[in-house]
Structure 1
Amino acid sequence: MKAILLVGHGSRAKEAKEVFIKVSRELSNRIDKKVYIAFMENANPSIEDAFLKMKEEGIEEVDVLPYFLFEGIHIKEDIPDILRNMKDEFDIEIVFKRPIEYHSLIVDILIDRLKGEGICI
């Protein structure tokens, strides 16, 4: 079986985790694979916890999809190091996908945000 692991940075803010879960549910509704979630820090489950659950549920292959805008240190070093350990420990085939980076839809989102209300500082 093949699955998706959506990895976010994590935040202490409850609302941030709620939005991330909403994104993961919508992704799950649009694709034909089970979607698991994990966070780098400040929230649970961790990547390690997600892999444990995937292994328990019989997942043999996983596409790891980072919910990050850019290739920072987490994308270049931290997550790949964790994934190498998970591959060795759980014998799961892993493909690490690219972060969001530039996409024209991001500009559409920004234009949409300009149309909405803001907070006066």
Structure 2
Amino acid sequence: MHKTGMIVLGHGSRRKEVALQFTAMVGRVASRIAEAQVLPAFFSLGEPTLADQVRELVVRGCTRIVVMQYFLYNGVHIEQDIPQMIAALREEFPGVEFVIQPTLQDDPALERLLVDRLLADGGE
């Protein structure tokens, strides 16, 4: 049986308040997932990094790490940069299974949220 850890990976920002808001949101999500540890990480422009949090979860005994890419669209970070980071982490931790979840692009739940928001403030 694998002990699972989860990382919500955001882009990051130079603005400290953005990092604090992202970290708080991940904390709220974590409070709803009892079966795994959930940590925030930043692709760039912030700490902790993806590698920092993977190392933390490994120290905590996790052998399976789920990475949720908290990005709206599949740009160069998703298609090139993050896969390179994950490849390096797989080499560093060959005994750890990495599960990479897709971005929010084309997610029906996000589309439902947009419809709900639009209708709440102007729908007939």
Q: Find 1:85's aligned residue among 80, 85, 88.
A: 88
Cα distance in 1, alignment partners of residues 101 and 85 from structure 2:
14
SS at match of 1:94: strand
User: Match of 1:75?
Assistant: 78
Offset of residue 105 of structure 1: 4.0
Give the Å deviation of 1:62.
Answer: 0.6
Native 8 Å contact 1:60 1:93 kept in 2:
yes
Structure 2 CA distance for aligned equivalents of residues 60 and 103 of structure 1: 28
Shift of 1:84: 1.0
Amino acid at match of 1:14: K
Q: TM-score, normalised by structure 1?
A: 0.84
In structure 1, the partner of 2:98 is 94
Q: Give secondary structure in 1 for the equivalent of 2:31.
A: helix
Which residue matches 2:5? 3
- 1:100-119 matched pairs, under 5 angstroms: 100-107=104-111, 109-110=113-114, 112=117, 115=121
Structure 1 stretches of 5 or more lacking a match? 116-121
2:21 counterpart SS class: helix
Q: How much has 1:112 moved relative to structure 2? A: 3.2
Shift of 1:88: 1.2
4+ runs of 1 displaced by more than 4 Å?
107-111
Q: Aligned equivalents of 1:104 and 1:47: distance in 2?
A: 27
User: AA paired with 1:53?
Assistant: E
1:34-60, CA deviations, whole angstroms, 9 ceiling, x for partnerless residues? 101211111001111111111111110
Query: Partners of 1:68 and 1:19 in 2: how far apart?
Result: 15
Query: Alignment length, in residue pairs?
Result: 116
Equivalent position SS for 2:87: helix
- Pick from 27, 30, 33: which aligns with 1:28? 30
Give the CA RMSD over aligned residues. Answer: 1.9
Residue 14 of structure 1 corresponds to which residue in structure 2? 16
TM-score (ref. length: structure 2): 0.82
SS in 2 for 1:63: strand
